[in-house]
Structure formats: C-alpha cells, structure tokens
Chains A and B, each alone.
Chain A
Amino acid sequence: MFWDKQTETLKPTELKEIQLKRLKKTVNQATKVGFYKNLLSGAGIKPASIKTLDDIRKIPFTKKQDLRNGYPFGFFAVPMKQIVRIHTTSGTTGKPTVVGYTRNDLDAWSGLIARNMTMVGITENDVFQNMVNYGMFTGGLGFHYGAEKIGMTVIPSATGNTKRQIEMIQDFSVTTIHCTPSYAMHLSEVAEEMGAGLDTLKTGIFGAEAWSESTRNTLEQRLGVTAYDSYGLSELFGPGVAFECPERDGLHIWHDSYLVEIIDPLTGEPVADGERGELVVTPLVKEAMPLLRYRTGDVTLLMEDGCLCRRGKKIARITGRSDDMLVIRGINVFPSQIEHVLLGIPEVGNQFMVYIDRINHLDEMTVDVEINREHFSGELSDLARLQKKVIKELRDALELRTSVKLVEPGSLPRFEGKAKRVIDRREGL
C-alpha cells in the first residue's frame, strides 16, 4: 500500500529533477544560517554554484559538534515566530542539540511517518499504542502525528507502567505498537508473567536502538507481531527517515526528502554502491533548520538491487557507528561486520573481542570468540575445522586475513551499555 504513490515510485530521472530543485532551495535556505554563510563563502560556493546533484560534493560536511556549537538556536533559518516546536536530542556528551520545526516541517515529517506506516499495511482501521517518550524525544510526537494523519486510533500511552500498557493493549484491542526493541522484550516478558494474551497485535515498529535479526525472531514469536525496523534521527526531523517495507530486507529511505551519500569516514570520499560507509544526509524539505551534508555517524550501505515494492533504493540496517571503524592493512573494518559473521555461525557464541597488533610492520587482527557449549563434540578435529570456518567467513566478509582464537564459553567480558570489544595495541599511529 502507498500513502503517496506518485512520490514513492518516482522514476530516477524525475526523482533527480526534484532532488536538484529542492537541493538548490535548501542551499539557499542554509545561507540564512550564520554557520552556513561562513562555511559556504569559505569554500567559495554560492547557491548558484549548485548546478547538478554532484556539485554537493563541493560543500564541506556538517558534524554533530557544529550543531552543539550552535546551541541553542544557532542553526535556525527562520525567525522564532515561525518555529512552532522544539525538540532536543539527549546530550550524552556536553550540551544537547536543539532542533526546531516550522508548521510546514511538521506537516512534511508526519507525511513521511504516514508513508512508512502505510507501506507496511497499517490503515485507519488500526489501533496504535505509542509506547515511547512523549517529551523532548522526537519518537513520541513524531509517530503520534503521523499515525493521526493516517486516521489511526492513537493511544499516547508513552513509557512506563508495563502492566497498564498490557491492559490497554487488551482492553482497546490494539493492533500496532511502537517502542524500542528492548522495551518490547520487557513487555513480552511481563505479559508472559501475567499470563496475558496479546492476540490483537499484528504489527510492531521498533527503533531508536540497533537490534539484531535474532531479536526480531524472538519479538515476533513472543508478541505475535510482524516486526519492522524504523530509522531516523532528530537532526533529520526524527523517526521516519527510513523504514522497512514488507520485504524486510533493508530500509527504504525517502530520496525525495533526503539526499543520501555513503562516504568513507576517513577520507570523506564516496564509496561504491554496496560498500559499507558512513551515511551522510542532506535533508531536502526542511525549513526551520536546513542541514547540508550532515554526517550521521551511522554505518550502512546503499543496496544495489531494486525492491519488489517498486520504491527507491534501500539502505541496509544500521550496523554501527563510524567512530568504531578500524583500518587494518589499509582496509576499513567495522566491528559490526565481525559480529554479523559470528551471528551466522551457530557453533560459536555472539560475544567477541578483537585485538590489533603490529607485527613486523604489518597489522595483525586476532578475533577471540567463544565456542558454543551445545556444539562441542569433544573432538579436536571438529574444533580445528570450526576455527578454519570462522577464519574463512571473516575473510570472505572483510576481505582480510585474521587469526581466530577459540575460547571457553563464558570467558569473554560481557558489557552493559557501550561495549568495548576492540583493543588496538598498535603504537605510534
């Protein structure tokens, strides 16, 4: 199902035309921001210099720190009287980042949410319980207004009081939920303890955290939903930037509203389609807070193949942060790639540690991984074969030779919160 079929299935030439038109408008809008005025004049760029989409590469990137430096309203391109709402992103390091919206911005944003939800078959007949923070976090009000736009029955339940949440799902015959994957897991456990059936549920929208395919399977089994991944960030309105279609093989990013580049985080140069890198986005329909080439810090790739649903090119599910990237013998490696390989080998566990050394002027990467208790046959030869298999699969995925050490189950460190799985022992870098 489509919310805006014409826009969602634009032909490549039509799409490029719209993107270029909107890019020019956005660059123009950005010159109303002091930061961009200086940035553009410093780079010798006038709005008129943007003649093709590729010209965007003349513009320097915008980083999260730039936005922090502009706290609170330094990036607003319109007078305050036109700003109708403000959200902030959590300031884990230093001050939060403020994002502002005009009335048109809110309309564009809720329109994107409506596209996403309609894409997975949600209609005005559905009852929607929105179990995320309704305060400064963009996920609450963002989904709320998108769902209302479709005409769904919206329950703004927000977070907390899980038993009450479960009662509401039952009493109001809720069909669709939105929350973080970790809260969904908690919800399913509490429902199980209560012996509460959640039979009316059909669709689960999960976002704001990275989550794995095995979490998807667990949530689908326990909650009886089809689970969809939702991606967004406050700087780009909030949730709704990209979303899985029923194929659930990558996320459709709305190319008419977001100009996408995937770059090598070290060189800033574009990578080829199908290669992993950092997602850089220039939003094309933002009024209050235009951004140019914003570095999201999220690692993904642009998928080469078209999708059965006929919408535009997809990005892969986010697999980590560009800050975590390692360069081993000149090859870019993301720890998430290693995790992905290990998840595909049932004979080993999901915990791992990576050690990097420089031996005889060459980078050597060693991956420690636990053997899976259930798969131990007692035979040394089976272990040796497993070790070879892990080495081969890592080499296929990373195009890099690694050493693999099989360690005892439970012997690797478990992390709560941010995991530190990489120990770089190279010196003088």
Chain B
Amino acid sequence: MDAKKYLIKQISIFSENRPGRLAAIAHALGEEKVNILAFSIAEANGFGVVRALVDHPQKAHDKLQSLGFNIAFTDVIAVKMKDQPGGLYDIAKILGDSSINIEYSYAYSGKDGAILILRVDQVEDAIQKIQKSGATLIERSVFH
C-alpha cells in the first residue's frame, strides 16, 4: 500500500497572539485565490499556530513566506465521516479500538460530506488500520 498518497499537506503558520494576525493570513490567501477548506488555531503561552487545509498548499506556503510569515508543512490525514448524528462516533471508535493516538484534530462539513482531519504520531500504521476498518481516507490528489 502506498501510504504516501493519503498524506495531506496542512500548512502550519506561527503567529503571535495579537489582534489582526488571522486577518493578515486570510487576506493573503484570499489575494492568492487560495481556498481554505478547514482551519483551527492552537494557542499556547502568548503565541499560537494557525493550521489550515487549503486547496493549493504550495501556493499558500510561498505567498505567506514571501510576506514574512513563518510557515511549515505538516502531514495530516483526512477521514470521511457520515454527516449525520453518530458520524464522528463511528470514526472515533475505529481510532480508539485500533489504539491510534490523536495529537490534534479538527473537522469540516461541506456539500460532499464531513471530513475529520487528524494529526497522529504513527501515521502509516494509522492509515493501515483505518483502511482495514472500512473507513475512507481522502487522497492528497484532491488538493493541488
């Protein structure tokens, strides 16, 4: 199995915890016609990391870097969920039963259904277990 095709490039942006930083990031992506599919902000002591799943990760990376942002790619995986009550439970149970530990996670639901984005430590192992359980992983080719 080629696990690589399920590794999705999330962009992670270092940001100080002060007003206007998210607006600056979002404005830059908008200008570049990059669509944000999902994002979350993780906050620590005085600073944070903005994590986003976008349709053109490389374009987003280059634009933000040229503006001076500190940005890195992080590999995440995305699992399809049923967009109905109990949908998250189905997936979460698979992960729990397979002893897959989640570092962090966020989700979005759109017209094509709901997606759970996961950052896990043993990623290849997790991909195998999720596939074995019958759940569907989103391929990286969905993003450019």
What residues of chain A have their CB less than 8 Å away from a CB belonging to chain B?
371, 373, 376-381, 383-384, 387, 405-411
Contacts and interface: CB of A to CB of B under 8 A. Distances in A.
A380 B72 CA distance: 12
Interface in B4-28: 10, 12, 14-16
A379 B70 contact: no
A407 B21 CA distance: 12
Contact of A405 (B12, B14, B15, B47): B47
Nearest to A406: B47
A55 B48 CA distance: 59
Q: Which 5 A-B pairs have the closest CB atoms?
A: A378-B12, A378-B72, A378-B74, A380-B42, A380-B49
Q: Secondary structure of the B side of the interface?
A: strand
Contact of B68 (A371, A381, A387, A409): A409
A371 B12 contact: no
Contacts of A383: 14, 44, 47, 49
Interface in B39-63: 42, 44-49
B77 to A, nearest CB: 15
Contacts of B103: 381
B119 to A, nearest CB: 9
A406 B43 CA distance: 12
Nearest to A411: B16
Contacts of A380: 42, 44, 48-49
A387 B45 contact: yes
A379 B74 CA distance: 8
A37 to B, nearest CB: 58
B22 to A, nearest CB: 13
Nearest to A384: B44
Contacts of A407: 16, 47
B73 A378 contact: yes
B76 to A, nearest CB: 10
B69 interface: yes
Given A383-B47, A384-B45, A376 B16 contact: no
Given A380-B42, A383-B44, A384-B44, A408 B68 contact: yes
